Structures are given as C-alpha cells and as structure tokens.
Chains A and B, each alone.
Chain A
Amino acid sequence: MTEKWQLKDHEAERELFSSRLVVASVFVVLLFTALIIKLVNLQVSQYEYFSARSDGNRLHSQYVPPARGLIFDNRGQLLADNQPIFNLTVVREQVGDLNETLDYLDTLIDLSDDEREQFSNRLRRNRVPFSSVPIRYVLSEEDKSKIAVNSFKLPGVAIEPQFVRQYPLKDLAAHSVGYVSEINRGELDSFDDEERENYGGTNHIGKTGIERTYEDLLHGTVGYEIVEKNNRGQVMRRLDRTDPVAGKNISLYLDSQLQIVAEEALGNYRGAVVAIDPNTGGILAMVSKPGFDPNLFVTGISNKNYSVLVTDEINTPLFDRSTNPYPPGSTIKPFLGLGGLHHGLVDYEFTIEDPGYFRLPGVRYRWGDYTLRTAIGGGHGHTNLQKAIYQSCDTFFYDLGNRMGIDTMHGFMAQFGFGENFAVDINHARTGVLPSREWKRATRGEPWYPGDTINSSIGQGYMWATPLQLATAASIMANKGKVIQPRMLKAIDGEPYQPEILDPVSDVVVNDPDYWRYIEESMSMVVHRAYNDVFREYGTAYEAIAMEDREMPYRMAGKSGSAQVVGISQEILQSDDIQVSDPNKDHALFISYAPAENPKIKPQIAIAVFVENGEHGSSVAGPIAKRITDAYLLDILQIDFATLDSPGDELFALADE
C-alpha cells in the first residue's frame, strides 16, 4: 500500500526511459551493422564463390551420347539397329532416402530383387555426380504413366528416352555380329581419360563379335549439353550444345540370306559353318549353332535367362563354334598332299599298297585306317595321291606324313593359316594348334615322337583347327595359293573399306602350278567320282552330294573329315552291343569350294562345315556344304552355268560379278 503513495518522479522516469531508448537504439544500430557486415561478406567478399555455387546448382553439363553406327549385311539388310526405348532413371544426388524411393517404386511397378541388385551395381560404378542411372530399361506404357502421375513424390526419378541396340535377326549371326551390353567395371577401368570422357553418356559397349571389334568405329564421339535444372532435376532450359558425332554405319560381307540358308542347313545339329568369298576374303556366312538372342544382353540379361544360357553344357549356346578349334580330321589331307608334291615326296605316279594299317619301322603298334572301320577287311589296295584324297586313305597319309616329318609339315601347313588367325577383323577367333617340336616342348614339356607325326598327318592328335581356319585354307586352295585374308567389314558409311594389314600373309607358292590343278581335280573327285566296278574307287562324298543331285550344274571341290572326339577303340565302335553316347560321337567335317574345274569362272565360295558329333563328314556335313553352295551360286549370284558352258566370252564377265 505504501508504494501507491510513493511519489513518482515523472521527469526522472522520462530520463530513464530516454536513456534506455538510446541504449536500445545503439543495440539496433550494432545489430544492423553486424547484419550488414555479414551481408557484405556474403555478397561482396564471397560473391565469386557463391556465384559459382549458384551456377553449379542450376547448370549441369551433361553428355549427349552419340548414336551408335548401324550394321548392315552385304545387301543392305540391317543386322544391328537402334530402337528408342524409355528408361526409368534415378539421379542419386536428388533422391532423399534411396531405399524409401525404391520401396515406393516397387509399389508402383514391382521392382524385382534382380533389378535392385543391378541398379546398386550401376550406382557403385564410377560415374559423374548428378548423372542419371537406369533402374529399369524398356518401361511399358502402363509403368510410364504410373511413374508420371506420381512424379511429384519421386524427386530425382525420371523417364528418359534412349536409343538401344536391337538385333532384328535375333539369333541369326549372334556370334559373328556379337552384341552390346552394359559397360562393366573392368571395361571402365581399362579406359584412358579420353575414352572415359567419350563414354560419359554411353551405357553400352560392344562385348563380342563385330560389335566389339569395331567398337571404335561404331561408337562415335560424345556431345555435350549445358542445361539449367531446377532443384527437382527437371531440365528447364538448354543453354549450349555440342552435337555428338554419330558412329559410322558399317556394312559386312555377311549375306543374311546365305546365313539363313546355312542355319537351316545345319538343322538341329550343333555345329558351325563358315563361308568365304575367295576373291575378296569376305566372310559370306558365319554360323554357330545353337545360337542365342543377343537382344537379351542389351538391356541387362536377367540372371534367370543368363543361367539358362550358361548352364547348358551340351549346347553351350554362347560358345562360338565357328571360331573355336576341333580336330580337323581328314579335311587337311588335300593340303598335306599338296605339300608332298611340292616337297617331292610324292608325284602323280607314286602309289602305295594299302594293307589297311600303317606301322612305323620297328614299332609293333598299328595305325588303323579310320575310314575303313565300317568296311569289311583289307585296305584300299593300290593307292596314289588322287585316290588317297577322294577315298580318304589314312595309310597313304600316314606314310607321307612320316616321310615328310613334322618340321616340313608344320612349315607347309602354316601357309594355309593352320595354327594362326589369318582373319583381319575377327580378333576373338582362336588359332587352334598346328603342332611342332617347339610347341610340344613348350606346352607339354615332352619331345616330339614319330608317332605324333603319324596322328597329325590325318588331322588328329595335337592338330586342332577352327571352322574359320578350315574355310580360310579352302579359300586359299580355291585361289591356287593366293592368300586373301578373311574379313568381315566391307564398307564404312558406304565407302568400300580396304583394311591396312600390317603383317600381310604371303601367298602359297608350289614348285609346279599344275599341282593346284591336280589337287583340285582330286577334291572334285571326292564329290563327283561315281561308283564303278573297281573296289573303292568312288569319291567319299559322291553318294551324299553328286548322286543326290545328278543335275548339279557345277563341280564342287570338297573333302570330308570325321574327327575322333575321344579315344574309343575300334572294337567298341564296331560292336553293335554298345551305343556310343551322343557327345562321344565323332565330329563331322566338310570343306569345299565351287565352282571347281571351271575354265570360265573362278571359285566363288569356300566353305567349312563342322557338325558336332555328326559322325559322318561326307554324308552329314557334305550335303550341308552342297546346299549352301547351291544357294550362293544359283540363287544369290544366279550364275547360269548352262549358258556359261556354251561358248561366248561376254557372259563370263557377267557371271563374275
């Protein structure tokens, strides 16, 4: 109560208030000064820094991937095309909680565990910050609309169009054309800086076949684009753009029509076909069966699909049989025979008396004649080189090989590409084995035994060759020694392509050019020499080829071969009681070229057919070669042999085209 009566000194209170107001004003000024200092610091001192940060926020340099070059066959049919698809992509930096986003996506479009795993693998790779990483390729229309409707809940998630490889012919030529697939960590690591830059916007790279060999040509050069993005990653404006340079379109010698014929001719067999135009070295057909659909690999093959492809131990669809080696068997005999002539070990008159087996002097072991194992008793009897070729007499070549010796054999055979990869642009092709003393010592640590030479002289033992090598050798034979190395690439952007061969292979030269005619005649007899009264004087493939088609308008030079897969004794094979299981059956081989012995037209196609566990070279592989040759000469080149045989030189030029 006393307080109420206390005198209030109004003047003192006013003074007090005023002084407080002054203090407050000082504080106001101080605080504003602090604020202004802070602002000056931000806007003047750190202007450059924040200006750059602001640009960094909104400006994004992004790669513009180049369009991959197309691959055509020799008639302009597309073998590899680019198709637009829509990908679901994620920019990690713009997604808050990644797992939450993925879970939400899962409720929209059902992400599989596989997809999640592949996505996290992609995220883990080296990548440019703020770049988009695909989580699903090929969005369906339905998924696209689901994402679009909910996009506001999905910051950093976008639908991006992209061109991806498409192989319209699917498993046709899957091995030789190859496929592209996602760049993996190892490939990224192997890039130099320039390459890494060039692949900045590219998800795919050629993995096999032509796609891999000509990756540099097909890929093109990356472009750049500077865009302004808002904080949700949407592109608001394009500010600058350097266009990418598309990859080159390339044309192959491959003829898809012939490829189809070859595939069909192989039927249900596992095997391979390689067909070469001897005049250009161009690979006309290159088949490995069974094939696979390369499209599966483009957008990331699922684990399930992949395991189907790799766990099939018999069919091994991913395995390229056309460029992997097998024992060539008797198909090497014409080459060895030519070597015998060249080195003077045999001549046209030289004959042996074939008892049906061969024995090295002082050795008890008998090398049997495999070609006789189903025949009844005895040998081929009186046999010269020609008969040894068309009848495929092993004993003759055991003797020839034995007298030739491994060193001479190796030297002569190497000229035809055995043991080497003559192909210009099929880098993945294996070289097989053309055995030699050095080779055996290096790989086996053993000396060369005379018996090894005997085995080698019929294309068995250590001798291994790929179907590509056999077709190459046949092509050199067809060219009478002129080597035109096999190749796939015919033209780049329509311009004919001549590869620069750094280490060209020299031609095969023999002492007397007539030897070529003689061997061609012998090979021709393999196909055309008919049955007669004399015991064993027909060509091994006559029944399956020339007898089947008595109207055959051209002559074909060929040689069959059956290669032993495992060492099964003759008794077991000949016994009716025991069934030899399929993977243990002999491989059937056939090499050929045509037309042969034609004065007006040079051989147009050389072929090697390999039929895995096909058993009989002449009756299984031979007709396949015949069918392919027919298709090429008669349907594709449409050579009119009837007119050609009649006099008149102008037609010659026509046909040669």
Chain B
Amino acid sequence: MSSQDFIHQSGGLDSKSRNSKSIWRMIHIDPPLLVGISLLCGFGLFVLYSASGGDVPVVRRQALTMAVGLVVMFIVAQFNVHLFRQWAPIMYAAGLGLLGLVLVVGVEANGAKSWLDLPGLPSFQPSELMKFVVPMLMAWYLASRPLPPRFKHLFWSAVMILVPAALIIIQNDTGTAIMVTMSGIFVVLLAGIRWRIVIAGFIALLLASPAWFLFLAQEHQKNRILTFFNPYRDPTGAGYNIIQSQIAIGSGGIYGKGWGEGAQSHLDFIPESNTDFILAVLAEEFGLLGVLFLICMYLFVLVRGCYIAYAANDTFSRLLAGSITLTFFFYVFVNMAMVSGLLPVIGLPLPLMSRGGTSVVTLFIGFGLLMSIQAHEHGHSL
C-alpha cells in the first residue's frame, strides 16, 4: 500500500517541478532518498546528543562523518552504475586481496583484526568494502545468467559469498561477516532462487545450528544465545546489557521521559548507549511514539530503495538496488530486535543513529549506488 502511495507522490513531484527535478537529475541525486537519509541523520544526531550526555565534540564528529558520507554518496552517484558492473570482478578480486593483506599486516581494534593502515591512505576496513562489493559481484554474476539461477550458478555464488565471509570471520568480526553474507544472499534470493531450495537451505541451517552451538560456537557466542533465552541467568554479567536496555525501553512508555531525561542512559545503566544500544536511549526518552517515528523514517528510505530497485531497467541494477535496500533493512531490524530482546545480542550498530565511522561511510556508498541506479537509469530511458 504505502509503496503505491509513494510512487504516486513521486510521480506528482515529477510533473509539478520539472525544472528542479532536472537539476537533481543532472547531479544524479534522488531527492526523496536524500530527504529520508537527511531526516534520519538529523534525528540520529539529536538522539546522540542526549545519549552522549550532551557531549558536543562527539556530536560534531558524528556530524562530520555524516557530511563526509554525503560527499562520498554524491561522488559515487556520479558514476554510471554500469561502470560498477564492469569493475565488479576486479573490485572483488582487489577486495579479497586486501582481506588477505589484513590477515598479514592488519591492525587490531576492539578485538577484531580488521583494520588496514596503508601508507598514504587513511586507515580503513576492507571488510566494509565487501558489504557492497559482494552484492555487486553477485549481481554481475547472476544478471548475466538465466534466471532463476541454476544449481551450478548457485554453487559458485555460494563460493563467491563464503570466501570473503570466511576471511572476515578469521579477522574475528562476525557481525560484518554476517552482513556481507546476507548482502550476497539477498541478491540470490531476489534473483529468483527456487523456493524449495530456500526452504531446504533454511531447514539445513536449522538442523545444523545445534551442531554449531555444540561444537563450533565460541564461549561468548554460546553465552549470548543462552542469555537471549534467559537474561537473568547472569543479570550482572552477560545478561546485564539486555536487561538494562529492556528496562530503558519499557520505562519509556508510550510518550517517553523526554529528551535528555532518560535516567537509564544518563546514569550509565545502558552500556554502549552511543553505539549499538542507542535505540534504548531513544525508546526511553521518546517512548513508543519515538520508535514508531524512527521506523517510519526507515520505512520511507526502504520504500524508496524498493522503488528504485523495482523501477531499474536491467537485472544487474535491480539486484544491486534490491540487495542494498534489504541489507539496510536487515541492519535496522537486527539491531532493533537485539536491543529489544527479540534476537540475541550481535554487535551491529543502528544505521544512521549509532555513533560510528567507517560503517557510516559504507552506508552512504550504498545510498550513492542506489542514487546512481535511479538517476542514470532514468537519464538513459529519457
């Protein structure tokens, strides 16, 4: 329903302001997406100000990161998406090379050895690049194959997804590995993989999970799972985060305690209140209405992303746009679900709300790709 509405709306915008539209077209920017992103950024900074306890430098740095992100998005949007298609295999190969390099000369931060500090370049995480390089490669690979994909192609797809994912897991960065894997899987799903394969895979995953839990899972991962089922098995240890975050959310009620009035966050009961658990701060201070408002804004961006994917002219663009949009959703949902206790705790930030650096820029690269698809596709068709 809402997506239909949106299409009408943007259609209306098309007809009413041709001039301004053509200006946006010229600079390859999609105005609705830009508005949605900007709103989220603004709200994010607003919440961060409170979550950080009024720490202006923190907010300023985050704003700066977002500005850098916008610039990067703008630059990415200027390239025709088909350029990315041509370069996808090379970027993928380079990405793998960098991941390999990380294993050798990587720098460790926060328990993950995922940073690369090359001379002449700002330090960055190659694993972040893979978040859009993997779906790009998948889209490139499957778009030139008949769809729905054959089993043989699925097999190679799996290899292409799992090799970088494995390299990232070796870096001890499970969260990113999951995101990279999901971004690739979304392409496969959107490409029309047969449902019976999906269901079979899902069942296989379900059956394998106990084995994983028993034999492969690390102690902290097991703890997270167990804590998810009963946070009170260790209320001051492993369960502390989720208990305190639920208290924050629950005590926010419908209307919230007011901006800057969140006792849970301001008295430091919520750990990671600036990053992974920022939703708890928002929910405490702005209540259920605040969270619904945030979900609406995310939906706005998601609907626009889906529309861009839907409206794209070629399979590569469609798959890429769809994967980027769904990955974005996955991000949002996993974080919100983990903070509210619907999923085990996985260290993933809330897009555009959580404080962060590289991952924010990666998000904007994704948005830039969406804009490139939207602007160039239509420019082509016009």
Q: Mark each residue of chain A from 26 to 60: 1 if its CB lies under 8 Å from any CB of chain B, else 0.
A: 00100110111011101110110111011101100
Interfacial residues of chain B within 130-161, with CB under 8 A of chain A in the complex: 145-148
The 3 A-B pairs at the shortest CB distance, nearest first, are namely A50-B250, A54-B251, A230-B267
Q: How far is the CA of A520 from the CA of B189 in the complex (A)?
A: 119
Q: Chain A residues with Cβ under 8 A from B264's Cβ?
A: 54, 57-58
User: A residues touching B (Cβ–Cβ < 8 Å)?
Assistant: 3, 6, 8, 10, 12-14, 16-18, 20-21, 24-25, 28, 31-32, 34-36, 38-40, 42-44, 46-47, 49-51, 53-55, 57-58, 93, 96, 228-232, 236
Sample of 6 more A-B contacts, CB < 8 Å, known A35-B295, A35-B342, A58-B263: A14-B315, A20-B192, A36-B295, A43-B249, A43-B254, A228-B263
Q: Determine if B147 and A36 form an interchain contact, defined as CB atoms under 8 angstroms apart.
A: no
**Which residues in chain B, 259-305, are within 8 Å of chain A measured between CB atoms?**
263-264, 267-269, 283, 287-288, 291-292, 295, 299, 302
B72 CB-CB contact with A under 8 Å: no
Contact A13 B147 (CB under 8 A): yes
Are B247 and A53 in contact, with the CB atoms below 8 A? yes
A35 touches B333 (CB 8 A): yes
Q: Mark B332-352, 1 if CB is under 8 A from A, else 0.
A: 010011001110000000000
Contact A39 B249 (CB under 8 A): yes
Q: Which residues of A contact B247 (CB under 8 A)?
A: 50, 53-54, 57
| A–B complex contacts, Cβ < 8 Å, 22 sampled | A3-B145, A8-B146, A17-B190, A17-B192, A21-B190, A21-B306, A24-B190, A25-B306, A28-B329, A31-B333, A35-B337, A42-B340, A43-B287, A46-B250, A47-B253, A53-B250, A54-B247, A54-B248, A57-B264, A57-B267, A57-B269, A58-B263
Q: Taking the complex as formed, is B10 at the interface, i.e. its CB lies under 8 A from any CB of chain A?
A: no
- Within B304-337, which residues are at the interface with A (CB < 8 Å)? 306, 309-310, 315, 318-319, 322, 326, 329, 333, 336-337
Q: Is B236 an interface residue (CB 8 A)?
A: yes
Q: CB within 8 A of B146: which of A6, A25, A36, A55?
A: A6
* Of B253, B302, B309, B340, the contact of A28 (CB 8 Å cutoff): B302
Interface of B is mostly: helix
Whether the Cβ atoms of A47 and B267 lie closer than 8 Å is no
User: Chain A contact residues: over half helix, strand or loop, or mixed?
Assistant: helix
Nearest CB in chain A to that of B190: its residue: A20
Q: Is the CB of A96 within 8 A of B236?
A: yes
B123 contacts the other chain (CB 8 A):
no
Cβ–Cβ < 8 Å partners of B319 in chain A:
17
Residues on A with C-beta less than 8 A from B292 are 36
In the assembly, what is the distance between CA of A235 and CA of B337, in Å? Answer: 33
Given the known A-B contacts A35-B333, A43-B252, A57-B247, are A24 and B322 also in contact in the complex, defined by CB atoms under 8 Å?
yes
For B271, the closest partner residue in chain A by CB is A231
Measured between alpha carbons, how far is A232 from B271 in the docked complex, in Å? Answer: 12
A-B contact count (CB 8 A): 139
Residues 234 to 262 of chain B near chain A (Cβ within 8 Å): 236-237, 244, 246-254
Interface string of B213-249 (1 = CB under 8 A from A): 0000000000000000000000011000000101111
What A residues does B237 contact at CB under 8 A?
A: 96
Q: Could you tell me if B340 and A35 are in contact, using CB atoms closer than 8 angstroms? A: yes
Give bound CA distance, A39 to B251, whole Å. Answer: 11
A230 touching B251 by the CB < 8 A rule? no
Q: How far is the CA of A21 from the CA of B341 in the complex (A)?
A: 28
Residues of A within 8 Å of B337, CB to CB, are 31, 34-35, 38
Compute how far the CA of A124 lies from the CA of B244 in the bound complex, rounded to whole angstroms.
28
A42 touches B250 (CB 8 A): yes
- State how many residues of chain B have any CB contact under 8 Å with chain A: 50
User: When the two chains form the complex, which single residue of B192, B263, B333 contacts A16, counting CB atoms closer than 8 Å?
Assistant: B192
- Which residues of chain A are within 8 angstroms of B340 by Cβ–Cβ distance? 35, 38-39, 42
Q: List the B side residues contacting A96 at CB < 8 Å.
A: 236-237
A34 interface neighbour in B145, B252, B342, Cβ under 8 Å? B342
- The answer to the question of B38 belonging to the interface, with a C-beta cut-off of 8 Å to chain A, is no
B3 contacts the other chain (Cβ, under 8 Å)? Answer: yes
Q: In the complex, what distance in Å separates the CA atom of A24 from the CA atom of B291?
A: 22
Write the nearest CB–CB distance from A37 to chain B, whole angstroms. 9
CB nearest to B326 among chain A residues: A24
CB closest chain-B residue, reference A16: B192
- CB neighbours of A34 from chain B (8 A): 337, 342
In the complex, the chain A residue whose C-beta lies closest to that of B315 is: A13
- Nearest chain B CB to A100 CB, angstrom units: 13
The CA-CA distance from A114 to B252 in the complex, in Å, is 47
Contact partners of B250 in chain A: CB under 8 A? 42-43, 46-47, 49-51, 53-54
CB distance from B241 to the nearest CB of A (A): 12
Would you give the shortest CB distance from A65 to chain B, in whole angstroms? 25
Contact partners of B291 in chain A: CB under 8 A: 39, 43
Most chain A CB atoms below 10 A, which of B252, B254, B295, B299: B252
Residue numbers in B under 8 Å from A51 (CB-CB): 250-251, 253
Q: Give A6 to B310 CA distance when docked, in angstroms.
A: 24
Asked whether, in the complex, the Cβ of A47 is within 8 Å of the Cβ of B251, the reply is yes
- Give, as a whole number of angstroms, the nearest-CB distance from B238 to chain A: 12
User: Known contacts A8-B146, A39-B283: does B269 contact A58 (CB below 8 Å)?
Assistant: yes
Please give, as numbers and ranges, the residues of chain B lying within 8 Å of A25 by CB-CB distance. 3, 306
> Interface 1/0s, chain B 104-147, versus A by CB < 8 A?
00000000000000000000000000000000000000000111
